Amino acid sequence: MTVRALILAGGSGTRLWPLSTDDRPKPFLPLSGKASLLRETYDRAARVTGEGNVLFSARASHAPHLEREFPGLPSDRLVLEPDRRNTAPAIALAAIAVSEEDPDAVLVVLPSDQAVRDVDEFHRALSLAVESARAGDAFLTLGIPPSRPETGFGYLEAGRETAPGVREVVRFVEKPPLAEAERYSASGNHYWNAGIFAFSVRLLFAEMERLCPDVLASMRAARASRLAGDAAGFDAAFRACRSISIDYAVMEKAGAVRTVPSACGWSDLGSWEAVLEFRGGGDGRSVLSGPAIEEGGSGNLILAGDRPIRLLGLSEVVVIDSPDGLLVMKRGSSDLLRASVEKSLAEGRR
């Protein structure tokens, strides 16, 4: 029974403009301050599966970014999509390809837009999830102990322990209101859903046949067209599939889901505030990168590009410079930034 990893490399990261854009989204950026998030995700995945067993799912338009990040990457490790259809179709398509080599394989799914501080702890938890998934009777997911009452994340409610370090998932809760999030963060039985899964491909197909057979059928048709060299047929079959996440399509209704809790220092880096916190800023501490100078202020995030940036007498400010634009905003304005970027995109502006 082989183990494969699928890295999901999509999204646009509108709350991380101007570095993250539709043409060069969040996974391809070094937001943690080191390598790109995609490269860091690959390194974590390869530590569990081996370097030759990692696949990438991305939009076809992002293939050049993948090729620059991983020169010489074999084409059979790329699952390229003509359009966005969310995670369920992408995962199904990759699982079909994996099952052709090993119908009993375990597939690990990792979003590539996340960061982890404690890589050793992450490796321990993911390895345990993979070993548990080998039994083929349940989906495994990593559960992140909440560090704050977060209303922007989905939660897992955990029940009894089914094996050392593994707990059953009683239910999924999507983005609760603040009062519920406060209760969840204090309960000890609720975890953030990081979207990191391990499961046998046989189990995935069985549950998709039961819960979303149309999605599986569309991806089987797309895969058949790709193997036949019919690019137009592949595009048509893929675009005919409805857009739905793996959480809604499968996980929330599956017969058995279990979680491995892991305090691995996970962050989705979903905003400039999250980037500041992950890189050690906040509470009066600033984070500066590139030719940036701060005088008379604190708690700032300044990411300079080629031009020097000098911030004087201001605190709690985010300044991000890139060839695609300049952002100056007060910390805590990420929702406003997202709305502004989405409005510009809808109007056909950058």
Give per-residue pLDDT as tens, 56-100: 999 998 999 999 999 998 988 999 999 889 999 999 999 999 999
The pLDDT value recorded for residue 350 is 62
Portion of the chain with pLDDT greater than 70, in percent:
99
Which amino acid belongs to residue 318? V
Calculate the average pLDDT of the chain.
94
Domains and CATH numbers, the chain: 3-267 (3.90.550.10), 272-346 (no CATH)
Has residue 301 got a pLDDT over 90? yes
Q: Are 258 and 128 in contact (CB under 8 A)?
A: no
Strand residue runs (E) in the chain: 3-8, 54-59, 78-81, 106-111, 115-116, 139-144, 155-163, 166-173, 190-200, 257-261, 266-267, 287-289, 292-295, 301-303, 309-312, 317-322, 325-330
Burial class (CB in 10 A: 0-12, 13-18, 19+), 215: buried
Q: CA 95, CA 110: separation in Å to the nearest integer?
A: 13
Report residue 321: phi and psi, to 5°: -115, 135
Give the whole-number percent of the chain exceeding pLDDT 90.
86
Query: Residue 6 to residues 98, 105, 255: CA-CA distances in angstroms?
Result: 10, 12, 23
Q: Is the pLDDT reported for residue 53 higher than 70?
A: yes
Least confident among 12-16, 23-27, 151-155, 213-217: 12-16
pLDDT at 306 > cutoff 70: yes
Confidence of residue 284 (pLDDT cuts 50, 70, 90): very high
When mean pLDDT is compared across 13-17, 83-87, 127-131, the lowest value belongs to: 13-17
- Copy the structure tokens of residue 284: 């009066």
Whether 174 has a pLDDT exceeding 90, the answer reads: no
Rounded Cα gap, residues 119 and 309, in angstroms:
33
220-262 pLDDT, tens per residue? 999 999 999 999 999 999 999 999 999 999 999 999 999 999 9
**How far is the C-alpha of 199 from the C-alpha of 134, rounded, in Å?**
7
Helices (H) and strands (E) in the chain, counts: 11, 17
